[in-house]
């Protein structure tokens, strides 16, 4: 059954795509949830207009994310942790801690956007990737320091 997607559907297609799906999937999921419509000329023109609007919104969103990436690239954060005399941390620094440190500096970043290749288990300076969008990625300098005794 051929349908025209009104919204992006994961593992199926993007807005405006004509997809061929099984009738049960169309009747029980796509059509009732308003994710797709039957392929007609009026629906195609309506979806093309919606696709153009969504594309313009996506372009403006990417532009704002690039500005955020530039701001993140200029920022460095400090994360404190308890460590032994050799500089090995008791535990590790998590992406959530780095994201929280960025939020304290006024940069809105989700925990999932901070990507660590390996856990940070030592005191030192590290470059950590922040993945904002499929096309926008930057790095932030993370200083891991010894926690001050209380």
The confidence score (pLDDT) of residue 48 equals 83
Q: Residue 27 belongs to a domain with what CATH number?
A: 3.40.5.10
Q: Of 28, 47, 65, which residue constitutes the final position of a domain?
A: 65
pLDDT digits (tens, 9 = 90+) for 32-81: 999 999 988 888 888 888 888 888 998 999 999 999 999 999 999 999 99
Task: Give buried/exposed letters for 61-79 (b at 16+ CB in 10 A, else e).
Answer: ebeebeebbeebeebebeb
Question: How many domains, in total, are found in the chain?
Answer: 2
pLDDT digits (tens, 9 = 90+) for 82-131: 999 999 999 999 999 999 999 999 999 999 999 999 989 999 999 999 99
Q: Residue 111 belongs to a domain with what CATH number?
A: 3.10.430.100
pTM exceeding the 0.75 threshold for the entire prediction: no
**Cα separations (Å) of 90 from 18, 20, 57, 86, 123?**
54, 54, 45, 11, 11
In terms of domains, do 84 and 44 share one? no
Q: Which domain holds residue 44?
A: 2-65
In terms of domains, do 48 and 9 share one? yes
């Amino acid at each position: 059954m051929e349908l025209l997607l009104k919204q992006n559907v994961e593992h199926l297609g993007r807005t405006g795509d004509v997809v061929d799906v099984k009738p049960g999937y169309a009747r029980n999921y796509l059509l009732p949830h308003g994710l797709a419509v039957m392929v007609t000329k009026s629906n195609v023109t309506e979806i093309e207009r919606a696709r153009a609007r969504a594309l313009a919104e996506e372009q403006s969103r990417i532009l704002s994310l690039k500005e955020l990436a530039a701001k993140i690239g200029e920022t460095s954060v400090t994360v404190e942790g308890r460590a032994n005399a050799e500089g090995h941390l008791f535990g590790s620094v998590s992406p959530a801690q780095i994201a929280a440190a960025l939020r304290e500096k006024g940069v809105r970043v989700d925990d999932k956007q901070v990507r660590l290749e390996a856990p940070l288990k030592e005191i030192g300076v590290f470059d950590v990737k922040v993945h904002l969008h499929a096309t926008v990625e930057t790095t932030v300098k993370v200083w891991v320091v010894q926690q001050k005794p209380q």
